[in-house]
């Protein structure tokens, strides 16, 4: 058991779910610390029947802390994590900063759990849009070797944190009331709109969010040969990312085989009956730790293509649940 565990970014959208999961999954610990920015220091948060006071994130707070689960902005993770590791703390990090560092394993427990053993103090959890896609393509890759993926995302505003959720709520209310609203985190109004840019321009017209889906998938599968063409779009949905995914495999996989492969994959649930109007939607994925797959069909334009729709709670499996699962693997490996 880790004597002392810290949740860094405990007041944020992801941190809130991490706190909830540590309680509901009964993560074994003796002491817990909640850390955030100076703005939140002194706030009191209930955890397992106790009131915990949020502390300001400072290096000294990690003395005696064995494990930290962190969800802060990238630049915060860049600065504090080496200081925490120096003090003997293992950090499971949700930010994008460390994911592509060759010394840092990037882990989805259903796919590459063994990678946690190679850590040197930091283990990264992937971007939310990557996690649900790799979970979905893993069984197809194992069965028929995935050659090419074309993916379009429909990403919820909670993916941009507490401020993103606030923007959707307040922007929608203002629009309906015919009032002005100054958006905090989106470059255009998200109410009644879609924004086909998440992150900054990164490579050949692709955004940083899109390139994360490419680089992170290659790292998780340890296979750079998978060709990926992503388009990431912010949509006015409160929570849960949806993805339209087209996969081309070396060996043909039929719809029936795909349904069986998806159903056998831990973490995936098939919801697929167009006749009965059954398919995953953000409102059905919200609050679930599982990734939902539906609309499974043959690609009409290529012989080995398979198209499907995938929905996952970005705050849970896309972030907090994956990080807590990694922490549970670490915990088991210490027994």
Ligand X SMILES: NC(=O)c1ccc[n+]([C@@H]2O[C@H](COP(=O)([O-])OP(=O)(O)OC[C@H]3O[C@@H](n4cnc5c(N)ncnc54)[C@H](OP(=O)(O)O)[C@@H]3O)[C@@H](O)[C@H]2O)c1
Which residues bind to ligand X, rule: CB under 6 A?
A: 9-15, 36-37, 39-40, 57, 71-74, 76, 94-96, 127-128, 158-159, 161-163, 314-315, 318-319
Q: What are the beta bridge partners of residue 36?
A: 56
Of residues 68 and 258, the one with the C-beta less far from ligand X: 68
For the bound state, the minimum distance from the C-beta of residue 285 to ligand X, rounded and expressed in Å, comes to 13
Which residue number has the CB closest to ligand X? 12
CA dist 244 and 15 (Å) reads 28
How wide is the angle at C-alpha 300 spanned by C-alphas 297 and 306, nearest 5°?
40
* Beta strands 55-56 and 50-53, pairing class: unpaired
CA dist 201 and 275 (Å) reads 41
For the bound state, the minimum distance from the C-beta of residue 101 to ligand X, rounded and expressed in Å, comes to 15
Of residues 66 and 96, the one with the C-beta less far from ligand X: 96
Of residues 128 and 261, the one with the C-beta less far from ligand X: 128
CA dist 91 and 77 (Å) reads 10
CA 243 to chain centroid: 13
For the bound state, the minimum distance from the C-beta of residue 290 to ligand X, rounded and expressed in Å, comes to 16
For the bound state, the minimum distance from the C-beta of residue 317 to ligand X, rounded and expressed in Å, comes to 10
For the bound state, the minimum distance from the C-beta of residue 166 to ligand X, rounded and expressed in Å, comes to 10
Of residues 92 and 247, the one with the C-beta less far from ligand X: 92
For the bound state, the minimum distance from the C-beta of residue 95 to ligand X, rounded and expressed in Å, comes to 4
For the bound state, the minimum distance from the C-beta of residue 39 to ligand X, rounded and expressed in Å, comes to 4
- In angstroms, what CA-CA distances link 274 with 257, 280, 309? 18, 11, 12
Of residues 36 and 261, the one with the C-beta less far from ligand X: 36
- In angstroms, what CA-CA distances link 232 with 78, 154, 229, 266, 283? 25, 7, 10, 26, 20
What's the half-sphere exposure (Cβ side, CA atoms, 13 Å) at 62? 23
Of residues 65 and 253, the one with the C-beta less far from ligand X: 65
Which residue stretches of the chain are H helix? 13-24, 74-86, 128-144, 161-177, 208-221, 255-264, 282-285, 321-333
What's the half-sphere exposure (Cβ side, CA atoms, 13 Å) at 278? 9
Of residues 45 and 306, the one with the C-beta less far from ligand X: 45
- Three-class SS state of 231: strand
* Beta strands 305-312 and 291-298, pairing class: antiparallel
**Helix (H), strand (E) counts: the chain:** 8, 16
Question: Are the C-beta atoms of residues 68 and 8 closer than 8 Å to each other?
Answer: yes
Residues designated catalytic = 128, 241
Dig out the tokens for 299 from the structure: 């690609």
Dig out the tokens for 105 from the structure: 């394993």
């Amino acid at each position: 058991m880790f004597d002392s565990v810290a949740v860094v970014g405990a007041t944020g959208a992801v941190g809130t779910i991490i706190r909830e999961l540590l309680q509901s999954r009964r993560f074994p610990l003796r002491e817990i610390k909640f850390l955030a920015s100076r703005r939140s220091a002194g706030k009191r948060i209930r955890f397992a029947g106790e009131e915990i006071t949020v502390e300001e994130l400072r290096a000294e707070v990690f003395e005696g802390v064995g494990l930290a689960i962190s969800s802060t902005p990238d630049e915060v993770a860049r600065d504090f994590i080496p200081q925490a590791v120096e003090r003997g703390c293992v950090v499971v990090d949700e930010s994008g900063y460390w994911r592509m560092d060759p010394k840092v394993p990037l882990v989805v427990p259903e796919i590459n759990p063994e990678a946690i053993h190679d850590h040197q103090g930091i283990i990264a959890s992937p971007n939310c849009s990557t996690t649900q896609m790799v979970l979905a393509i893993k069984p197809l890759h194992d069965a028929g070797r995935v050659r090419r993926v074309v993916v379009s995302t429909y990403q919820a505003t909670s993916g941009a944190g507490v401020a993103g959720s606030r923007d959707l709520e307040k922007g929608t209310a203002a629009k309906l009331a015919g009032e002005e609203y100054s958006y905090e985190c989106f470059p255009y109004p998200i109410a009644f709109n879609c924004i086909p840019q998440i992150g900054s321009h990164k490579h050949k017209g692709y955004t940083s969010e899109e390139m994360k889906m490419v680089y992170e998938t290659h790292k998780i599968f340890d296979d750079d040969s998978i060709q990926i063409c992503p388009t990431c779009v912010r949509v006015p949905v409160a929570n849960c990312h949806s993805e339209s995914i087209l996969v081309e495999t070396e060996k043909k996989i039929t719809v029936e085989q795909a349904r069986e492969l998806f159903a056998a994959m831990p973490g995936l649930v098939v919801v697929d009956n167009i006749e009965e109007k059954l398919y995953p939607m953000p409102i059905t994925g919200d609050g679930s730790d599982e990734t939902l797959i539906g609309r499974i069909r043959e690609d009409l334009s290529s012989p080995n293509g398979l198209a499907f729709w995938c929905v996952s709670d970005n705050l849970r499996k896309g972030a907090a649940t994956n990080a807590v699962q990694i922490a549970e693997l670490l915990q088991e490996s210490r027994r």
